Structure 1
Amino acid sequence: MSVAEAPRARTAAAAAAPRGTAAVAALSIEGVSYSYGARRALNAVSFSVQRASFTALLGLNGAGKSTLVALITRLFGLPTGRISIFGDDIGRNPGAALRQLGVVFQPRTLDLDLSVMQNLQYHAALHGIGRGEARSRAEALLTRIGLADRAGHKVRDLSGGQMRRLEIARALLHRPRLLLLDEATVGLDVKARAELIGHVRRLVIDEGVGVLWTTHLFDEIEPSDDLVILHQGRVLARGELAQITAETGTADLHAAFRQLTGGDSAGAAP
């Protein structure tokens, strides 16, 4: 079941996009399928993430979210369909596509024995950013995320929430226009979750970054989000929450999700 996406106002950063590029989505996924042997993990998945917008990909554990992330980031080869980032096909022009993408994976990937600054400088070197420029960008990002006073501390001494904020800073170091976060709040307490989500939402407003946020938690969804419901490898609905509830004739996201999935809501948070 699909809900058509309605046009919606974007931030000033989106409005200021160069002429001729406004219609190009930050991320476009078209007819993507993937199987692990005989098991179909994704089945003809299609949706887009607009520039300067927050798109939530909601699905239970096992819905196919992490498989899709692996395909977008080219950890897995794409056998069927097409994925493009700001119009650059990840198969035909992977360098140009992935330069515009920042990623926070579900497993933490920081080096615990390096300092906060060293982690950022190492990542910058991988992107060919000079040492002086890398330090300048890192200092600015650490100030923004409230970790400037921890620059010389080893990562293992940070809290879980601080590590996630550092991973977001690292993902933004090469100044991508699309940010992909896969279950980024897993293992965080309620306060740290709220702070992290708030930080990412401010990036959309202040920096014009397009965000794809994957989650299985209903309370991370806001009514104005672009919402994609993924279940057992299929997109069941997409659009703003009001559209989805109207289409399903339900009162809220929980009820809409239960109806769309045939009552399968095990594992989803209230």
Structure 2
Amino acid sequence: MTADSSKPALGVTDVGHAYGARRALDGVSFDVPVGGFTVLLGLNGAGKSTLFALITRLYDAREGRIEVFGHDVARLPGEALRRLGVVFQQRTVDLDLSVMQNLTYHAALHGIAGAEGRRRAALMLEWFDLSDRHKDKVRNLSGGQMRRVEIARALLHRPNLLLLDEATVGLDIRSRADIIGHVRRLVSEEGIGVLWATHLIEEVEMQDRVVILHQGRILAEGPVAEVVSQHGGRDIRSAFAALTGADRPRAASEAAA
């Protein structure tokens, strides 16, 4: 899908959200550039999943503005969401369908039916090294393979922006590296913009942009080297600790926002 490269892939401006009296997000603003890998880094409970729910319109954004390639998700949701692929933290694949069925049914929801849907699904399975598992029920896959199916599914309609919320939670080290490698390859080879939400500092690389979200507020944003330099850290881990007052990331078992 063609997108206007003169505009950010994602623009978030002064976004706020509350659950009753509790402010989950407060004046959040940042951009995700076209064809770049941006890490939304924050401890569990920082507000990352709430922000994803607002971007994808699971919740209405009543404070601020969210745009996907210049299209306001509140006023032009169809135009905005058409350019967006999403992988949520909780798995959403149907365990009792085959890998191919999961992909072709999702393609049909985007109006890509019949031979074209099967063709795109086959291409995605080849890209993610899953062609030999196309007939298998999803429940028979490993956790890492399920994640690859979800990412493949999110790309069927050829979005220009991919959002992934804690995509490696619960995976072993090898599976985590495999998933991150596939997504980074999408950025470098396909020019897709990526917003990768995580609480794991080791998933951040020096060439990335980073947005540090803490208790619903943005504490820093920019290239990793710039954020580290501005906040007196030796590396992104020490800069993150200095900004948030955290000696170390919380365990993955803590409840996510």
- Equivalents in 1 of 2:96, 2:225: separation in Å? 46
Uncovered stretches (5+) of structure 2, i.e. residues with no partner: 253-257
Q: CA RMSD in A?
A: 1.3
1:76-87 equivalences under 5 Å are 76-87=59-70
What is aligned with 1:199?
182
Matches of 2:112 and 2:129, distance apart in 1: 23
**C-alpha distance in 1, partners of 2:209/2:6?**
16
Distance 1:176 1:221 in 2: 23
The equivalences for 1:47-62 within 5 A come to 47-62=30-45
1:104 counterpart = 2:87: yes
Query: 1:264: Cα distance to partner?
Result: 5.7
Distance in 2 (alpha carbons) for counterparts of 1:206 and 1:190: 24
- 1:94-128 CA-to-partner distances (Å, cap 9, x unmatched) read 00100000000000000000000000011011111
Following the alignment from structure 2 to structure 1, what is the Cα–Cα distance between the partners of residues 232 and 184?
29
Offset of residue 263 of structure 1: 3.4
Which one is further off, 222-231 or 242-251? 242-251
Question: Where does residue 233 of structure 1 map in the other structure?
Answer: 216
**Cα distance in 1, alignment partners of residues 198 and 75 from structure 2:** 29
Distance 1:87 1:263 in 2: 35
Q: SS where residue 243 of structure 1 aligns?
A: helix
Structure 2 counterparts to residues 12-161 of structure 1, below 5 A: 21-161=4-144
Pick closer, same or farther for the CA change 1:150–1:263 going to 2, 3 Å. Answer: closer
Q: Which amino acid aligns with 1:192?
A: S
Q: Which amino acid aligns with 2:68?
A: I
Q: Distance in 1 between matches of 2:140 and 2:250?
A: 31
What amino acid does structure 1 have at the position aligned with 2:228?
A: T
User: Partner of 2:67: helix, strand, or coil?
Assistant: strand
- 1-structure distance, mates of 2:251, 2:243: 14
4+ runs of 1 displaced by more than 2 Å? Answer: 262-266
Return the offset for 1:266. 4.4
Aligned residues: percent identity?
Answer: 62
1:265, CA displacement in angstroms? 3.6
1:241 Cα deviation after fit: 1.5
CA distance in 2, matches of 1:266, 1:224: 21
Q: Distance between the aligned counterparts of 2:249 and 2:97, measured in 1? A: 39
Q: CA deviation at 1:268?
A: 6.1
Amino acid aligned to 2:214: H
Residue 106 of structure 2 contacts residue 153 of structure 2 at CA under 8 Å; is this kept in 1? yes
Displacement of 1:134 in angstroms is 0.3
**1:1-58: CA deviation from partner (whole Å, max 9, x where unpaired):** xxxxxxxxxxxxxxxx88xx43300000000000000000000000010110000000
- Paired residues in the alignment total 251
Q: What does residue 6 of structure 1 align with? A: none
Which ranges in structure 1 are unaligned for 5 or more consecutive residues? 1-16
CA distance in 2, matches of 1:60, 1:161: 23
| Letter paired with 1:157 | N
Q: Give yes or no for the alignment of 1:246 onto 2:226.
A: no
Using the size of structure 2 for normalisation, the TM-score is 0.95
The residue number in structure 1 matching 2:255 is none
* DSSP 3-state at the match of 2:31: strand
**Contact kept? 1:116, 1:153, Cα under 8 Å:** yes
Query: What SS does structure 1 have at the residue aligned with 2:221?
Result: strand
Pair 1:178-2:161 in alignment: yes
Once residues 120 and 69 of structure 2 are traced to their aligned partners in structure 1, the CA distance between those partners, rounded to angstroms, is: 23
- Partners of 2:55 and 2:211 in 1: how far apart? 16
SS in 2 for 1:224: coil
**Structure 1 residues 263, 186: CA separation in 2 closer, same or farther (over 3 Å shift)?**
closer
CA-to-partner distance for each residue in 1:169-223, whole Å, 9 max, x for gaps?
A: 0000000000000000001000000010000000001111000000000110000
- Quick one: structure 1 residues 185 and 68, their matched pair in 2 at CA, closer, same or farther if it must change by over 3 Å? same
